Amino acid sequence: MKLKMGTRGSALALAQAGWVAQELKKRHDGLGIETVVIKTSGDRFSASPPREASLLAQTTKGLFVKEIEEALLDGSVDFAVHSSKDLPASLSAGLGIAAYPEREDPRDAFIGREGLSWSALSVGARIGTSSLRRKVQLLSIKPGLDIVPMRGNVDTRLRKLREGECDALVLAYAGLKRLGRSELKHELIPAEVVVPCPGQGALAVECRQDRRQVAELLDALECARTRLEVEFERSFLAAAGGGCSTPLGALAHAEAEGVALSVFWSDPEGRCPRRLLGRCPDPAERDAFTAELAARIKSGV
């Protein structure tokens, strides 16, 4: 049997898709997988002038999955591999996540120029990131930082750091690890300091809901704990109305007593950054729990 796998063409996306293909072939003898690279709206806006890209990013969610989902629906590909953090709160009708492989560490990583540590950051230090979520949280904890908009892939950002365009970068650690760059000197930022993006560190393997045979093959990669935690985070994303213009973070942790969910939310201007921790004893009550948590954090109660 041969399947077509859809993915973006970035180095990270190809590394993630390659890992998924390798793991599937380990579990299914004789399975062939063809990689189909799909250019998304997100890839196009990343290549746009900074101002145009910024305006588009703030009005659209799901830029990095739209065209891939269209290919799934029209049958151009059989399944797709995404970074879970790129998924909008709701998938396109007829599609579902067939598997969430075991998650990597979801925290952000701090990479400073030689001799600069996270604890030594001072007023005026230039931090490279284009994430509004990171920007608002960093400024709420260390006021006076200079946040430098920083787009491009990991290697591009590291080059800009070396060339002195910023003093430090904040990146998702999982991306560094999947690209084989985890040996770079870095510090992991505690999740209680900078709450990660919903789904950060997790992969999502998506297919059409009516492709049952495909879904059964993909299920070999499923990690039940990852699904439980990521779906709690995505439920909060949906309840809070999170988009690219909303600084929002969520990190779930499955416990014996249920699921703990740490969340962050602010208005787009960063004037009211808030953090909450809630615990849901019964995972079956997930959506009601996240709706209440979203209402509390947005109202400041």
Tell me the catalytic residues: 86
**Rounded to an integer, what distance in angstroms lies between the CA atom of residue 94 and that of residue 2?**
22
Helix, strand or coil, per DSSP, at residue 28:
coil
Question: How many other β-carbons are positioned within 10 Å of the β-carbon of residue 138?
Answer: 24
The single residue listed with the structure tokens 């999955």 is: 65
What are the phi and psi torsion angles at 250 (to 5°)?
Answer: -160, 135
Q: Where are the alpha helices (DSSP H) in the chain?
A: 11-27, 41-46, 50-57, 66-74, 132-141, 154-162, 173-178, 212-218, 224-240, 286-299
Beta carbons within 8 Å of 210's beta carbon, 6+ residues apart? 94
| Beta partners for residue 99, in sequence order | 205
Cβ distance 153 to 91 under 8 Å?
Answer: no
Question: How many other β-carbons are positioned within 10 Å of the β-carbon of residue 66?
Answer: 17
**Rounded to an integer, what distance in angstroms lies between the CA atom of residue 42 and that of residue 38?**
11
Residues 213, 215, 220, 225: is their CA dihedral positive or negative?
Answer: negative
The single residue listed with the structure tokens 């998506």 is: 206
